[in-house]
A = this chain, B = another copy of it.
Amino acid sequence: MALLLDTLGDRVLLGEAIPESCFSDWTGHAACRPLALVRPTSSEEVSRLLRLCHEHRRAVVPQGGMTGLAGAAVPNADSVAVSLSRFTGVESVDRDAATLTVRAGTTLEAVQNAAREAGFRYPVDFGARGSCHIGGTIATNAGGHGVIRHGMTRDQVLGLEVVLADGRILDLMNSMIKNNTGYDLKHCFIGAEGTLGIITRAVLRMAPPQGETHTLLCGLPNYKAAVALLHRLRGAGLALEAFEVMWQDFYTMSCDWRDSQPPLPTSHAIYVLCEAEGDANHLETALEAAIETGEVADAVLASNIPQAQALWAIREATGEFPLKLAPINFDISLPIPTIGDFVEAAGEMLQQRWTGISIVNFGHIGDSNLHLTVDGRSLAEDAPETHHAIEAEIYRLVGEYHGSISAEHGIGLLKRDFLHHSVRPEAMDVMRALKHTLDPNDILNPGKLLN
């Protein structure tokens, strides 16, 4: 500690001075006061910190806005937490190149605002935008709304600056689209959850602002029809901004929670909420054809913004889950054609073992992403074993379907012991070898992602 204070002085907080906000993330999992909290104000200070911790084999836990959902930023009592919250700001906006250069501690919202002020948009978006750090979104390869059109955070990153475990500063601050000069090292650090280096700066792409969009809710006979509709809309000369599939149980429950009349009757097996940019005629032509073939049984097109918001409110019932259900949430991916079968198989499997349990489902199907929620109200309270058993069963089934146990939230602590369902042993070995090469003393976020 004396060395740490010598090296980084007033950047260091100890004991009671460490704010509780850095004890755990949004899951509240395993909250713990770290040995120290260091808040560097430059890449060089991050470098000095890591060099010291590397020499003394002291664990370092990188922290962003603490909005993670997998426990990747949770410290333990022996670790030094490092927060980039004092290394913030958009360093430059380049309208000609359509790029932004940002510091890791900048919030996602500040990045979005800077892009908007320049006449663009930064297309990654999700609920935690006001708190999460852009560095954290890169370290976790965050998804959220808009992935169907713009891709994940990885797809927005052109360049990175990363401090390696031994304190070396790795300058990968590329701003070019085409650049085939050797291994594209930035991809090692994107989505690595702070286990291979600490991201300090980034060059990000901006997208043009959103044009006129249309919002549509459809009732469909089955999941297969939803996949057919996705295919049809993709070929209709439109830019799909969202394609949210809600299963009947989800739709019915959400409509029950609202005062108003459901926009479509609750009798359909599947509902699709779709947002598309482009020519309204293209959308109407595609929709007519879908109705003719029976893919779509019924549909309502929002004719103004309040109507569109009312349609979105049905899908956004997920925000009410913590209050109204005892939710166990899953963020999983599956090959698109199999998602319908998976939902049925998961429901049956859970019912057989835990009678009376129910699941509600929606998914960003165009991105292969299913958000399955188990309503745990019928289970005994305080049953972490049951919770864990349900997770184990669902992730085992995900593995059988060749799916991914983490679509967008990452692995962290909470999914680490299930990783083998989605990653083969040889790949796990290569991950470990990469970790050992870049962090031989295992100081960077040890125990996260890999065990």
Binding site for B on A (CB under 8 A): 94-98, 119, 140-141, 143, 147, 152, 154-155, 164, 168-172, 174-185, 187-188, 190-192, 196, 208-209, 211-212, 227, 231, 234-235, 237, 239, 277-279, 333-337, 364, 366-369, 402-411, 419, 422-424, 426-431, 433-434, 436-438, 449-450
Contact = CB atoms under 8 A, between A and B. Distances in A.
A227 B279 CA distance: 27
A162 B333 CA distance: 23
Contacts of A438: 430, 433
Given A369-B177, A424-B171, A426-B171, A235 B182 contact: no
Given A98-B231, A183-B188, A188-B188, 7 more contacts: A97-B335, A177-B368, A177-B369, A178-B333, A181-B419, A433-B437, A434-B434
Nearest to A239: B239
Contact of A96 (B176, B179, B227): B227
A285 to B, nearest CB: 13
B411 A179 contact: no
B404 A176 contact: yes
Contacts of A403: 176
Contact of A170 (B169, B176, B430): B430
Contacts of A335: 94, 97, 175-176
Given A187-B188, A337-B96, A181 B422 contact: yes
A405 B180 CA distance: 8
Contact of A419 (B155, B174, B182): B182
24 contacts: A94-B335, A96-B337, A97-B336, A97-B368, A98-B231, A152-B178, A155-B155, A170-B430, A171-B424, A171-B426, A172-B427, A176-B336, A176-B403, A177-B333, A178-B367, A178-B407, A179-B333, A180-B407, A182-B419, A182-B449, A187-B187, A187-B188, A208-B234, A278-B278
Contacts of A227: 96
B141 A180 contact: yes
A128 to B, nearest CB: 16
Nearest to A429: B168
A183 B411 CA distance: 10
Nearest to A418: B181
A178 B234 contact: no
A208 B235 contact: yes
B231 A183 contact: no
Contacts of A426: 164, 168-171
Given A171-B426, A183-B431, A337-B94, A176 B237 contact: no
Given A337-B94, A430-B438, A437-B437, A196 B183 contact: yes
Given A95-B231, A336-B97, A406 B180 contact: yes
Contacts of A411: 180-182
A209 B235 contact: yes
A191 B180 contact: yes
A181 B364 CA distance: 18
Nearest to A158: B368
